[in-house]
Structure 1
């Protein structure tokens, strides 16, 4: 019998703790290959996702993957992330959470290809303190970056309408 990884259990516990205390759980994912995430929001090989129940639909924190639907710029997208790619899960408001080293090991292929299992991590994850951002700006918008400032949306009427 192969050992069961502890990481997905810790992720579910941190997510539940954040939700119970009114915090917003954020998931940081190291993006590699053909992951099902919105690539236009990936910076420095990572994407930070709001995984609160208010921001997601059908959130599933499984043993081998995280799956949910969310809106990005008004467009609903299905997100599928392998648990091994999760770098951290933390509360946005306090910065409390847990961080892990990403594990991009290919799933083991057995006789039955419908069963997917991940190789367990050989060493325990090192606990790392995740500090909250000092301001509401993203870390990528620090002075000295060569990025252009975002352009404001074009003026005019809103595309939303009131429904009674």
Structure 2
């Protein structure tokens, strides 16, 4: 099955915005293909304000979250893989969702596991 993470991200984003709060994303800044200003990554993580007032061209696809936003007064294009998103929450009250590490590989297929089966007689 497809990952449910992008669907949950879209739902929580809309809920937070509709509640007149500020949506924040907690990103694993060390993950491959994370395109954010490196100087703002602290302890391997970065928090992004993705409110409609703080972003332009914001979109959540099934594979990435991307937009234009300002860092220190300079507009930047950012793009982060959905797998790199650790949480989405409202800045005002912390309500939102923390995501567990993806159990799927980047291509959407389940990683091969050795079954732990035994014969029962």
Question: TM-score, structure 2 length as denominator?
Answer: 0.83
Q: Residue in 1 aligned with 2:78?
A: 79
The alpha-carbon deviation at position 83 of structure 1 amounts to: 0.2
Matches within 5 A, 1:52-131: 52-103=51-102, 107-108=106-107, 118-119=108-109
Moved over 6 A (4+): none
The structure with higher relative contact order (CA 8 Å, sep 6+) is 2
CA contact (8 A) 1:30 1:102 kept: no
Deviation at 1:103, TM superposition (A): 3.9
**Number of equivalent positions:** 111
Instruction: Report what 2:118 is aligned to.
Output: none
- Cα separation, 1, equivalents of 2:36 and 2:111: 24
Of 18, 21, 29 in structure 2, the residue corresponding to residue 20 of structure 1 is: 18
What's the secondary structure of 1:79's corresponding residue? strand
- Normalised by the length of structure 1, the TM-score is 0.62
Point out where structure 1 has 5 or more consecutive residues left out of the alignment: 109-117, 123-164
* Runs (5+) with no aligned partner, structure 2: 113-121
User: Which one has a bigger Cα radius of gyration?
Assistant: 1
Relative to its length, the structure with more strand (as a share) is 2
